[in-house]
């Protein structure tokens, strides 16, 4: 165990963990929103994130982007990437809800059927991007989809540079952009849920769907809204992932989705602010663990921490449901 490296560079490892955990937190919001309203674990949400990464890659490839474009062009590409990823992920999430979950709700299917359906949808989306789509498109875009089963690199839009150093801890422009962007997105979502009319509808359905329906709240619109919001957050996470790590593949959502779900459970499933806390906590623990042991133990450490935390705090760190959330 490498205690010298861990404690000798504790600040640097913390910053790395925060920027990584911020991405987990954004993805975790999708799990939290859906569970908070429907009491459903949407395991297909990990592939909603995957679709967002391919949307970003497709946009940048279509524009013929090369590494390190001028700053003005880079900002435009990031804004367009955010819009395209949000539309792609939000649209995918909405399609999943309309095509798969809505018919099951109308038939009052048991929770196990929803869970099996979610897992099946996840596998279908992975195979579409890994096998079916390349055959349908042929050689039209071989640089993107023709090699989807291997890791696909992305162009570097913003070159990573150290902005400043605090007590020996270097903070790069990418780390700062990722962390600040993620926190701003989560703060906007928290404000939307707690301060707006539509947000009150979401909380009402989460707390008591029958009473909410009697008060005139359209449950179907609320359900559509939470899937779209979760998809938009996943799309934003896809853009930040593309900036920080710069690669994607058809199976990229599997482990990331499990970690984001872990973050949601750690923070308190159904709690928006808990998703933030859980994501940041998980990111830091992962980096600490990888430094203390080996990087190959990173995934193991994340799930061991989940088990340990839930042994002492089964409802998660914050443990407040979406229906009881208040500003």
Q: Where are the domains of the chain?
A: 3-312
The pLDDT value given to residue 132: 66
Q: How confident is the model at residue 219 (pLDDT cuts 50, 70, 90)?
A: very high
Average pLDDT score over residue span 89-118? 93
Q: Shortest CA distance to 274 belongs to which of 180, 190, 176, 185?
A: 190
Q: How confident is the model at residue 326 (pLDDT cuts 50, 70, 90)?
A: very low
Contact criterion met (CB below 8 Å) for 260 and 279: yes
Question: How is residue 141 annotated by DSSP?
Answer: S
Reported as a single tens digit per residue, the pLDDT across 130-157 is 876 666 555 444 445 555 567 888 999 9
Q: How far is Cα 244 from Cα 30, in angstroms, rounded to an integer?
A: 21
Mean of the per-residue pLDDT values of the chain: 88
State the DSSP string of 22-89.
HHHHHHHHHHHHHHHHH----TTHHHHHHHHHHHHHHHHHHTT--SS--HHHHHHHHHHHHHHHHHHH
Contact criterion met (CB below 8 Å) for 275 and 263: yes
Contact criterion met (CB below 8 Å) for 213 and 223: no
Q: How far is Cα 154 from Cα 213, in angstroms, rounded to an integer?
A: 46
The pLDDT value given to residue 48: 96
Average pLDDT score over residue span 112-119? 93
Contact criterion met (CB below 8 Å) for 241 and 265: no
Q: How far is Cα 130 from Cα 145, in angstroms, rounded to an integer?
A: 8
Query: For the whole model, what pTM was predicted?
Result: 0.91
pLDDT at 295 > cutoff 90: no
Q: Which are the contacts of 180, defined by CB distance < 8 A and separation ≥ 6? A: none
Reported as a single tens digit per residue, the pLDDT across 47-61 is 999 999 999 999 998
Of 209 and 83, which is predicted with more confidence? 83
In CATH, what is the architecture of 3-312?
A: Orthogonal Bundle (1.10)
């Amino acid at each position: 165990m490498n205690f010298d490296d861990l404690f000798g560079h504790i600040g640097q490892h913390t910053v790395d963990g925060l920027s990584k955990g911020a991405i987990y937190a954004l993805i975790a919001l999708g799990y939290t929103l859906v569970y908070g309203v429907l009491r459903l674990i949407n395991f297909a949400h990990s592939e909603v994130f995957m679709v967002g990464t391919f949307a970003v890659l497709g946009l940048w490839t279509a524009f013929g982007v090369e590494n390190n474009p001028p700053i003005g062009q880079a900002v435009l590409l990031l804004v367009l990437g955010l819009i395209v990823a949000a539309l792609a992920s939000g649209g995918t999430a909405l399609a999943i809800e309309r095509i798969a979950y809505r018919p099951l709700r109308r038939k009052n299917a048991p929770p196990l059927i929803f869970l099996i359906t979610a897992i099946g949808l996840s596998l279908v989306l992975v195979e579409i991007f890994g096998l079916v789509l390349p055959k349908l498109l042929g050689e039209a875009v071989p640089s993107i989809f023709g090699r989807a089963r291997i890791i696909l690199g992305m162009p570097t839009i913003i070159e990573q540079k150290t902005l400043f150093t605090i007590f020996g801890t270097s903070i790069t422009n990418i780390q700062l952009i990722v962390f600040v962007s993620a926190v701003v997105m989560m703060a906007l979502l928290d404000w939307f849920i707690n301060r707006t009319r539509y947000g009150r509808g979401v909380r009402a359905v989460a707390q008591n769907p029958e009473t909410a329906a009697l008060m005139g709240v359209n449950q179907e619109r609320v359900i559509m809204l939470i899937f779209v919001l979760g998809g938009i957050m996943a799309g934003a996470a896809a853009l930040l992932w593309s900036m920080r790590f710069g690669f994607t593949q058809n199976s990229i959502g599997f482990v990331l989705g499990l970690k984001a779900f872990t973050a949601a459970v750690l923070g308190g499933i159904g709690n928006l602010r808990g998703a933030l806390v859980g994501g940041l906590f998980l990111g830091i623990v992962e980096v600490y663990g990888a430094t203390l042991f080996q990087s190959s133990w990173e995934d193991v450490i994340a799930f061991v921490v989940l088990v340990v935390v839930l042994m002492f705090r089964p409802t998660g760190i914050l443990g407040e449901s979406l229906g009881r959330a208040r500003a």
